[in-house]
């Protein structure tokens, strides 16, 4: 029986312009559905685990379509609540070269932001689960959503389920002050923390030295310093972050750094030609979780996560459709891209 991982968060309607069209040019939008924690559930199903996704969607055809999209890729959607006002939407315009991708969020009043903790029976949902995962986006949606997140984390902790959070600070959803207040409270229940320097600073107040995310260069020492502070403060079992060197919207360097409390593990760095980079952080998180939950060593789990997310960059949509076989092969070194006949 494969292991069960539960994730909690929002699934949104994603509307993206075709090709490299800008919003003002578009006469059609490509339609998919995704969101940080939903993306993680899908990827884990791809690797053979049982991914259970918890959210609330409206009782209309769009809510149904969102559920369908996750079911299509094997996610257990039986615990998703129905009702509320609307499905959150995000609009995406894919950049190229020096033109950045643009995201317009239209997620206010989404059903999940108004959901009550009491709508979910977390004791039953977490029954038999090995892992619970969420992100810093969910508590940022609303006070109710923060309560819902806390309820879920508490329930997981109570049942001895390992918990992880991807900090994912979103400045359009809340201020750093509000974020720090809520995230500091939530992190009490977290075993594994994922997040880059900016997240760590905005969400938790840990400051590293001289990293300018717009510069596209790594600052490994800064990261290590921050990770040590985070370990000390919250006692996280593991801490990890992806490391992006943003050469342009088309080409990125991509690696990860993981910390087990003693040692730092910096993975191989990939130079990726980008097809769609949305969801790449989630694909790292899911790969890293997969590695840890299946008993890989820290270095291997991080390598698995970064290989998974390198592949994600080449796949349109939020979801990582790379298979276990493909991630394993890349992790072992074959990046030649030769045709598989």
Contact flag: residue 324 with a copy of itself (CB under 8 A): no
Closest to a copy of itself by CB, 28 vs 262, is: 28
Place of tokens 């129905």: 82
Q: Which of 59, 83, 85, 207 binds a copy of itself (CB under 8 A)?
A: 85
H-assigned helices in 141-219: 143-158, 176-186, 197-199
Residue 324: both structure tokens together: 């276990």
Helices (H), 162-215: 176-186, 197-199
Residue 59 binds a copy of itself (CB under 8 A):
no
The SS3 of residue 27 is coil
What backbone torsions phi and psi does residue 5 show, to the nearest 5 degrees?
-120, 130
**Can you state the angle between helices 143-158 and 176-186, rounded to 10 degrees?**
20
* Residue 210 binds to a copy of itself (criterion: CB under 8 A): no
Residue 158 within binding range of a copy of itself, rule CB under 8 A: no
- The distance of closest approach from Cβ of residue 102 to a copy of itself in the complex, given in angstroms and rounded to an integer, is 5
Rounded Cα distance between 180 and 175, Å, is: 9
Restricting to residues 89-118, which ones interact with a copy of itself according to CB under 8 A?
89, 91, 93, 95-106, 108-109
Nearer to a copy of itself, 75 or 125 (CB): 75
Whether 282 is catalytic: yes
Query: Which one of 176, 270, 299, 328 is in contact with a copy of itself (CB under 8 A)?
Result: 270
Please tell me whether residue 14 binds a copy of itself under the rule CB under 8 A. Answer: no
Interatomic CA distance for residues 24 and 211, integer angstroms? 34
Counted residue by residue, the chain has a size of: 341
Q: Which of 154, 224, 228, 247 binds a copy of itself (CB under 8 A)?
A: 247
- Kindly give the interhelix angle for 36-46 and 280-293, rounded to the nearest 10 degrees: 50
Binds a copy of itself by CB under 8 A, chosen from 2, 3, 71, 300? 71
Closest to a copy of itself by CB, 98 or 295: 98
Please tell me which residue in 166, 191, 282, 318 is annotated as part of the active site: 282
Residues acting as catalytic residues: 282
């Amino acid at each position: 029986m494969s292991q069960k991982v539960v994730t909690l968060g929002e699934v949104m309607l994603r509307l993206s312009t075709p090709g490299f069209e800008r919003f003002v040019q578009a006469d059609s939008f490509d339609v998919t559905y995704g969101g940080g924690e939903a993306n993680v559930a899908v990827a884990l199903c791809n690797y053979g685990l049982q991914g259970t996704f918890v959210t609330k969607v409206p009782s209309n055809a769009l809510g149904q379509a969102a559920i369908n999209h996750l079911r299509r890729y094997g996610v257990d959607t039986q615990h998703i609540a129905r009702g509320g006002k609307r499905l959150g939407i995000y609009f995406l315009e894919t950049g190229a070269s020096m033109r950045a991708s643009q995201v317009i969020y239209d997620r206010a009043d989404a059903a999940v932001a108004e959901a009550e903790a009491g709508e979910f029976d977390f004791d039953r949902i977490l029954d038999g689960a090995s892992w619970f995962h969420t992100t810093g986006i969910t508590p940022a949606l609303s006070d109710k959503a923060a309560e819902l997140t806390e309820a879920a984390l508490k329930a997981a902790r109570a049942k001895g389920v390992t918990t992880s959070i991807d900090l994912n600070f979103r400045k359009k959803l809340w201020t750093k002050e509000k974020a720090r207040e809520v995230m500091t409270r939530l992190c009490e229940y977290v075993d594994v923390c994922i997040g880059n320097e900016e997240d760590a600073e905005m969400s938790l107040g840990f400051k590293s030295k001289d990293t300018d995310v717009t510069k596209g260069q790594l600052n490994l020492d800064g990261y290590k310093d921050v990770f040590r502070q985070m370990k000390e403060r919250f006692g996280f079992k593991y801490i990890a972050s992806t490391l992006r060197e943003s050469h342009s919207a088309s080409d990125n360097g991509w690696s990860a750094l993981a910390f087990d409390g003693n040692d730092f593990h910096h993975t191989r760095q990939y130079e990726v030609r980008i097809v769609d980079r949305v969801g790449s952080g989630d694909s790292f998180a899911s790969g890293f979780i997969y590695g840890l939950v299946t008993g890989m060593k820290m270095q291997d789990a991080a390598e698995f996560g970064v290989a998974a997310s390198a592949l994600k960059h080449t796949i349109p949509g939020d979801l990582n459709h790379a298979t276990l076989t493909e991630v394993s092969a890349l992790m072992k070194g074959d990046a030649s891209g030769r045709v598989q006949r």
